[in-house]
Amino acid sequence: MRSKLQPATSADVPGLVTLRTEVNEHLAAQFPGVLRVSRITEKGVRFAMSRATVFVARYRGQPIATLTLSTRKPWAIDTAYFPPTSTPLYLTDMAVHPRRQRSGIGRQCLAQSIEIAKKWPATALRLDAYDAEYGAGDFYRKCGFREVGTAVYREIPLIYFELPLSS
Protein backbone atom coordinates (compact mmCIF):
# COMPACT_ATOMS: atom_id res chain seq x y z
CA MET A 1 0.00 0.00 0.00
CA ARG A 2 1.40 3.38 -1.02
CA SER A 3 0.50 6.32 1.20
CA LYS A 4 1.57 9.86 0.37
CA LEU A 5 2.92 12.19 3.01
CA GLN A 6 1.12 15.52 3.06
CA PRO A 7 1.45 18.53 5.33
CA ALA A 8 -0.93 18.16 8.25
CA THR A 9 -3.75 20.64 8.70
CA SER A 10 -5.70 21.68 11.78
CA ALA A 11 -8.32 19.08 10.80
CA ASP A 12 -5.65 16.39 11.29
CA VAL A 13 -4.83 17.36 14.88
CA PRO A 14 -7.28 15.03 16.71
CA GLY A 15 -6.25 12.09 14.51
CA LEU A 16 -2.55 12.82 15.09
CA VAL A 17 -3.11 12.87 18.86
CA THR A 18 -4.85 9.49 18.62
CA LEU A 19 -2.17 8.03 16.35
CA ARG A 20 0.77 9.14 18.49
CA THR A 21 -0.98 8.04 21.69
CA GLU A 22 -1.64 4.58 20.26
CA VAL A 23 1.99 4.30 19.13
CA ASN A 24 3.25 5.37 22.58
CA GLU A 25 0.91 2.94 24.37
CA HIS A 26 1.98 0.10 22.06
CA LEU A 27 5.68 0.76 22.65
CA ALA A 28 5.23 1.11 26.43
CA ALA A 29 3.31 -2.20 26.49
CA GLN A 30 6.18 -3.92 24.66
CA PHE A 31 8.70 -2.61 27.20
CA PRO A 32 6.85 -2.44 30.54
CA GLY A 33 8.76 -0.74 33.31
CA VAL A 34 11.24 0.67 30.80
CA LEU A 35 9.12 3.11 28.79
CA ARG A 36 6.21 5.18 29.98
CA VAL A 37 3.34 6.55 27.95
CA SER A 38 3.93 10.17 27.01
CA ARG A 39 0.87 12.38 27.08
CA ILE A 40 0.14 13.78 23.61
CA THR A 41 -2.22 16.75 23.47
CA GLU A 42 -3.88 18.76 20.73
CA LYS A 43 -2.12 21.83 22.11
CA GLY A 44 1.25 20.07 21.73
CA VAL A 45 0.51 18.99 18.16
CA ARG A 46 -0.63 22.50 17.23
CA PHE A 47 2.53 23.94 18.80
CA ALA A 48 4.67 21.55 16.73
CA MET A 49 2.75 22.64 13.62
CA SER A 50 3.51 26.29 14.41
CA ARG A 51 7.29 25.66 14.58
CA ALA A 52 7.83 22.99 11.93
CA THR A 53 6.10 21.10 9.14
CA VAL A 54 4.19 18.10 10.44
CA PHE A 55 3.40 15.53 7.77
CA VAL A 56 0.73 12.86 7.79
CA ALA A 57 0.10 9.74 5.73
CA ARG A 58 -3.52 8.63 5.59
CA TYR A 59 -5.39 5.47 4.73
CA ARG A 60 -9.11 5.84 4.08
CA GLY A 61 -8.95 9.32 5.59
CA GLN A 62 -7.33 8.21 8.86
CA PRO A 63 -3.74 9.06 9.86
CA ILE A 64 -1.53 5.95 9.76
CA ALA A 65 1.87 7.65 9.98
CA THR A 66 3.37 11.00 10.83
CA LEU A 67 6.72 12.76 11.00
CA THR A 68 7.98 16.29 11.44
CA LEU A 69 10.60 18.15 9.40
CA SER A 70 12.22 21.34 10.63
CA THR A 71 15.22 23.56 10.08
CA ARG A 72 15.22 24.16 13.85
CA LYS A 73 17.59 21.88 15.78
CA PRO A 74 15.75 19.66 18.27
CA TRP A 75 16.68 20.01 21.92
CA ALA A 76 18.22 16.51 22.19
CA ILE A 77 20.57 16.80 19.21
CA ASP A 78 24.14 17.99 19.75
CA THR A 79 25.45 19.33 16.43
CA ALA A 80 29.05 18.74 17.53
CA TYR A 81 28.61 15.11 16.42
CA PHE A 82 27.66 16.07 12.85
CA PRO A 83 29.87 17.18 9.99
CA PRO A 84 29.43 20.84 9.05
CA THR A 85 26.72 21.51 6.48
CA SER A 86 24.96 24.68 5.44
CA THR A 87 21.28 23.71 5.60
CA PRO A 88 20.46 20.58 7.60
CA LEU A 89 16.87 19.48 8.05
CA TYR A 90 15.81 17.60 11.18
CA LEU A 91 13.36 14.70 11.21
CA THR A 92 11.53 14.14 14.51
CA ASP A 93 8.42 12.51 15.91
CA MET A 94 8.15 9.76 13.30
CA ALA A 95 5.37 7.34 14.19
CA VAL A 96 3.58 4.54 12.32
CA HIS A 97 0.33 3.06 13.62
CA PRO A 98 1.05 -0.26 15.38
CA ARG A 99 -1.18 -2.23 12.97
CA ARG A 100 0.76 -0.74 10.02
CA GLN A 101 4.27 -1.32 11.36
CA ARG A 102 6.48 -3.75 9.43
CA SER A 103 4.36 -3.23 6.30
CA GLY A 104 6.65 -0.78 4.49
CA ILE A 105 4.82 2.40 5.52
CA GLY A 106 7.78 3.64 7.58
CA ARG A 107 10.20 3.10 4.68
CA GLN A 108 7.80 4.86 2.31
CA CYS A 109 7.50 7.82 4.67
CA LEU A 110 11.26 8.01 5.09
CA ALA A 111 11.84 7.84 1.33
CA GLN A 112 9.28 10.61 0.80
CA SER A 113 10.83 12.73 3.55
CA ILE A 114 14.19 12.45 1.77
CA GLU A 115 12.61 13.72 -1.47
CA ILE A 116 10.89 16.54 0.43
CA ALA A 117 14.22 17.47 2.06
CA LYS A 118 16.00 17.59 -1.30
CA LYS A 119 13.37 20.04 -2.59
CA TRP A 120 13.42 22.11 0.63
CA PRO A 121 16.44 22.47 -0.23
CA ALA A 122 18.44 20.84 2.54
CA THR A 123 22.00 19.52 2.43
CA ALA A 124 21.45 16.75 4.99
CA LEU A 125 18.66 15.02 6.87
CA ARG A 126 19.44 14.50 10.57
CA LEU A 127 17.70 12.64 13.38
CA ASP A 128 18.20 10.83 16.63
CA ALA A 129 16.94 7.46 17.85
CA TYR A 130 16.96 5.71 21.19
CA ASP A 131 20.12 3.65 21.62
CA ALA A 132 18.24 0.70 23.12
CA GLU A 133 16.26 -2.37 22.11
CA TYR A 134 13.13 -0.21 21.72
CA GLY A 135 14.94 2.28 19.45
CA ALA A 136 14.74 2.48 15.67
CA GLY A 137 18.48 2.61 14.98
CA ASP A 138 18.52 -0.54 12.85
CA PHE A 139 15.61 0.79 10.79
CA TYR A 140 17.46 4.02 10.00
CA ARG A 141 20.67 2.15 9.16
CA LYS A 142 18.76 -0.10 6.73
CA CYS A 143 17.30 3.02 5.13
CA GLY A 144 20.75 4.42 4.37
CA PHE A 145 21.33 6.75 7.31
CA ARG A 146 24.84 6.90 8.72
CA GLU A 147 25.47 6.82 12.45
CA VAL A 148 27.55 9.86 13.40
CA GLY A 149 27.68 9.48 17.16
CA THR A 150 26.08 8.48 20.42
CA ALA A 151 25.23 10.60 23.42
CA VAL A 152 23.19 10.55 26.60
CA TYR A 153 20.64 13.32 26.99
CA ARG A 154 18.73 13.53 30.30
CA GLU A 155 19.72 9.94 31.07
CA ILE A 156 18.40 8.75 27.67
CA PRO A 157 20.96 7.05 25.40
CA LEU A 158 20.70 8.34 21.83
CA ILE A 159 22.21 7.56 18.44
CA TYR A 160 22.60 10.44 16.00
CA PHE A 161 22.06 9.72 12.31
CA GLU A 162 22.60 11.74 9.16
CA LEU A 163 21.89 11.27 5.48
CA PRO A 164 23.77 13.69 3.22
CA LEU A 165 21.57 14.88 0.36
CA SER A 166 22.46 15.66 -3.19
CA SER A 167 20.03 17.17 -5.68
CATH of the domain at 17: 3.40.630.30
Q: What's the CA gap between 156 and 149, in Å, rounded?
A: 14
For 108-153, the pLDDT digits (tens) are 999 999 999 999 999 999 999 999 888 999 999 999 999 999 999 8
Radius of gyration of the chain (CA): 15
Name the band, by pLDDT with cuts 50, 70 and 90, for residue 154. Answer: confident
Edge to edge, the sheet with strand 146-153 lists 5-7, 53-59, 62-70, 88-96, 124-130, 156-164, 146-153
Backbone phi, psi, residue 9, to 5°: -120, 175
Name the band, by pLDDT with cuts 50, 70 and 90, for residue 17. Answer: very high
Backbone phi, psi, residue 2, to 5°: -100, 130
For 128-137, the pLDDT digits (tens) are 999 988 899 9
By residue range, what is the domain housing residue 72?
A: 5-164
CA 167 to chain centre: 22
The model carries a pTM of 0.93
pLDDT at 44 exceeding the cut of 80: yes
Whole-number percent of the chain with pLDDT over 90:
83
Q: What's the CA gap between 103 and 105, in Å, rounded?
A: 6
The whole-number pLDDT of residue 167 equals 55
The whole-number pLDDT of residue 3 equals 81
Counted domains in the chain = 1
CA quadruple 74, 122, 16, 127: dihedral, nearest 10? -40
